[in-house]
Amino acid sequence: MSNQFYSGALNTRGQFLTAKAFTASGNSTLYGSIKAKGDITFNGSGVVVAIPPTNVDTTAPTLTAALTTDTAPDNTTNTDQITSKPAIAGSVTDVGTVTEFKAGFGNTSVTNYANVLADRQANGNFSFSRARLEQINGGALADGTYTLNLQAKDQSGNLATFALTFTLDTTTATPTLTLGSGSDTGSSNSDHITKIKTPTFSGKAETGSVVKVSSGTQTLGTATANATGDWQLTVSPISDGNYNVTAISTDVAGNVSAVTSPLSLTIDSLAPQVTLRSLA
């Protein structure tokens, strides 16, 4: 391709492309652009007014992600971002072609993000299992709080980012169980013998856990552990007799604890019967 020359006397709209030099003579205005690998020379007082090209993609991809299962007690789900099942699903869509999709945890440098473009399906959906998340993390995911950073770029260079923070909680401690001192009316105050038919139980459990107190197959009641882990339950009236009382807790992520050792309880609300008889 030879050098290009423009000598128009009238204002012109267009684009000039050359692999060599470009020379403009005259005083007209060019509405468009000049692209040359060589020198661009104006011999007159010509003016170039840039016009934005049409049909340019300036919209970043749409990127979303969420926990696949936000676990909760009784096999239900909620939206507190606390889960015992670390799996994530989402989508990356764009009017054009998505050319880059990366993921990294926490403060990982963007240059060290994992390439997850192959995880994206043709319809834009993607999912990360626990194993895949641990590959992205570069190691096992212990219980704790994490932020997964995602970024996607289309063929026009438009960039979208998304950050998903969640807490992984896969275990919960066994609660403690005691009979309230005011409910132990036996002679030693620690023999778990009481005349009270509505005894109070208390203990410690993971914050927010629901503690269920039972005797055999009979549920005596439930209580929720407060911010410091304390829980307390005064049961409805129960009959006189011997009971083996246990407690079990379910935390906010749906993890179920082991059962406590049985607490032997005797309820005796009947006063002794005294019979008088004559010795004569």
Given pLDDT bands bounded at 50, 70 and 90, which one contains residue 52?
A: low
Given pLDDT bands bounded at 50, 70 and 90, which one contains residue 274?
A: low
215 vs 275, residue with greater confidence: 215
Which residues sit opposite 17 in a β-bridge? Answer: 35
Given pLDDT bands bounded at 50, 70 and 90, which one contains residue 128?
A: very high
Q: Taking a C-beta distance cutoff of 8 angstroms, is the pair 64, 148 a contact?
A: no
Is 200 a domain residue?
Answer: yes
Give the residue among 37, 58, 47 at the shortest CA–CA distance from 6: 47
Is 236 a domain residue?
Answer: yes
136 shares a domain with 70:
yes
- Tell me what the mean pLDDT of segment 142-151 comes to: 98
Task: For residue 185, give the CATH number of its domain.
Answer: 2.60.40.10
134 shares a domain with 89:
yes
Reported pTM: 0.74
Residue 32 in this model has a pLDDT that exceeds 80: no
129 shares a domain with 42:
no
Is 94 a domain residue?
Answer: yes
Rg of the chain taking only CA atoms, in angstroms: 37
* Boundaries of domain holding 39: 4-49
Q: Taking a C-beta distance cutoff of 8 angstroms, is the pair 120, 153 a contact?
A: no
DSSP letter for each residue of 200-234:
EEEEE-STTPEEEEEETTEEEEEEE--TTSEEEEE
Give the separation between CA 166 and CA 144, rounded to whole angstroms: 8
Long-range interactions of 230-234: CB distance < 8 A, separation 24+? 230/202, 230/203, 230/204, 231/175, 231/202, 231/203, 231/204, 231/205, 232/180, 232/200, 232/201, 232/202, 233/200, 233/201, 233/202, 234/198, 234/199, 234/200, 234/201
68 vs 1, residue with greater confidence: 68
Please report the pLDDT score of residue 18 as a whole number. 74
196 shares a domain with 262:
yes
Per-residue pLDDT reduced to its tens digit, 74-116: 999 999 999 999 999 999 999 999 999 999 999 999 999 999 9
Domain end point (choices 168, 197, 215): 168
Amino acid at 19: A
162 shares a domain with 73:
yes
**In the numeric block, which tokens belong to residue 79?**
């939206």
Is 55 a domain residue?
Answer: no
132 shares a domain with 191:
no
Please report the pLDDT score of residue 190 as a whole number. 74
Q: What is the mean pLDDT of the chain?
A: 90
How many domains does the chain contain in total? 3
208 shares a domain with 130:
no
Cα distances (Å, whole numbers) of residue 149 to 101, 131, 244: 11, 17, 50
77 shares a domain with 28:
no
Which residues sit opposite 247 in a β-bridge? Answer: 213
The percent of residues above 90 in pLDDT, for the chain, comes to 70
HSE-up of 174 (CA within 13 Å, CB side)? 9
Is 224 a domain residue?
Answer: yes
230 shares a domain with 189:
yes
Residue 1 in this model has a pLDDT that exceeds 60: no
Residue 222 in this model has a pLDDT that exceeds 70: yes
Is 44 a domain residue?
Answer: yes
150 shares a domain with 183:
no
Please report the pLDDT score of residue 133 as a whole number. 98
- Tell me what the mean pLDDT of segment 120-146 comes to: 98
- Tell me what the mean pLDDT of segment 206-225 comes to: 97
Is 173 a domain residue?
Answer: no
Given pLDDT bands bounded at 50, 70 and 90, which one contains residue 2?
A: low
236 shares a domain with 257:
yes
Please report the pLDDT score of residue 228 as a whole number. 98
235 shares a domain with 213:
yes
Is 134 a domain residue?
Answer: yes
